[in-house]
Amino acid sequence: MNVNAAIAALAALAGLCTGVIAMLAFRWSEREQAKPTRSSLHTDAVLPPGVDTVLSVLRSSAVVLDEADSVVKASSAAYALGLVRGGKLAVEPMLQMARDTRRDGEIRQIELDLPRRGTGRGEALAVSARVAPLGSRLVLLLVEDLTEARRIEAVRRDFVANVSHELKTPVGALSLLSEAVMDASDDPEAVTRFAGRMQIEATRLTSLVQELIDLSRVQNDDPLEDAEPVRVDELVTEAIDRCRHQAGTKQITMATGGTADLHVWGNRGQLAAALGNLVENAVNYSPARTRVGIAARRLPATGGDLIEVAVTDQGIGISEKDRERIFERFYRVDPARSRQTGGTGLGLAIVKHVAASHGGEVTVWSAEGQGSTFTLRLPEAGSVRDRDRSRDRSSREPYETNADLDGEDQDRPYETNSCDHLSAPEVLP
């Protein structure tokens, strides 16, 4: 009995100790959980009221530093730019500027070029950093990404320089020719010859100014404000009429084909200018006694069918390195040949902007010595197509089924008229 009683007493004592230890551990855990974390101290206790909310809506990258140069608060954009790493500000010039501001309380600003994070191509990010004191101990750093603004500014400068250069050439030629006419006033043959050259330069100047106006218009205007269903057949006819004289002079055959009675939705004037530029380029860069083909077809696509218009030539072709830049403004594959043909280097840039503003695209296939195929894809005018299909369905015989209609409505690309063999990117024989 004494042994059993002793064992029971020991067990009770062990249970009591275990309970006391468990209770103490629970109390200690609660105390630790109640302690504020470092991040909560920074965001709740350290940051002035409302600052956290303001920083979250700023477009600039924001970083708040404490007196130990530790990051108290940083926006996601700051991490994306690589400004903050491991809880520290990773850009030394900005860190030094923050220390100076903390010391004297003055607002400072600096522009820097930072290496682009995650790329090894040496590309730099242009940023503007502004530092200001925030309360008595904190410093606020705001960083604005200027990379895109710098790029746009560079494009604008290049555009102005290119325009000035292109305008200077015909204007200078007109000035010299006018002097030559004055000096040769007693020589009717020379006056006639110089006057002819003046007409050529004046025409070139007029074309350049008009294309600058067209490019400015397609970049600034919304073509869908005055959009309407436009027949592709009519656009092709206008493009051929525009180039008929040049084609006849070089004995170039203009061939059309594809699916008839197609419609696209957009601004008629801009669409006619875009397709006209493609056909004009094809004629200008094709050798004599060759053929230029224009063919249209319908392409099924997610979100609505597309209308594809392909312009194929048998010209000199375009090298691979030039194909990446031919849609840039004032870029010419062969500058000497462009001046002979009167090209301004703006035609394809206009085509690109028209296609993009109409929700489409323009692509090119080309091989040196084999010719080129430029393909313009635009959304189809769905309401016109639906109406035409409804009219066709109502005029069919009663015994025709939906399956028959579907079979007859399937498109056969480039299978009509004198251009049956066209199928981009094939080259005309």
| pLDDT (0 to 100) of residue 124 | 79
Residues 347 and 295 in one domain: yes
Q: Where are the beta strands (DSSP E) in 83-234?
A: 84-85, 88-89, 108-115, 124-134, 138-145, 228-231
Residues 198 and 242 in one domain: no
Number of domains in the chain: 3
CATH of the domain at 362: 3.30.565.10
CATH of the domain at 164: 1.10.287.130
| pLDDT (0 to 100) of residue 8 | 66
Mean pLDDT of the chain: 76
Do the domain assignments include residue 383?
yes
Do the domain assignments include residue 129?
yes
pTM: 0.52
| pLDDT (0 to 100) of residue 79 | 85
pLDDT bracket for residue 347 (50, 70, 90):
confident
**Taking residues 49-75, what's their average pLDDT?**
81
Helix (H) or strand (E) holding 309: strand 306-312
∠ Cα 349 355 356 (to 5°): 90
Do the domain assignments include residue 3?
no
**Residue 42 to residue 22: CA distance in whole angstroms:** 33
What residue numbers bound the domain in which 109 lies? Answer: 42-116+123-145
Count other Cβ atoms within 10 Å, centred on residue 176. 14
Do the domain assignments include residue 26?
no
Residues 280 and 391 in one domain: yes
Do the domain assignments include residue 152?
yes
pLDDT above 90: residue 231: yes
CATH of the domain at 134: 3.30.450.20
Residues 164 and 263 in one domain: no
pLDDT above 80: residue 143: yes
**Residue 423 to residue 414: CA distance in whole angstroms:** 6
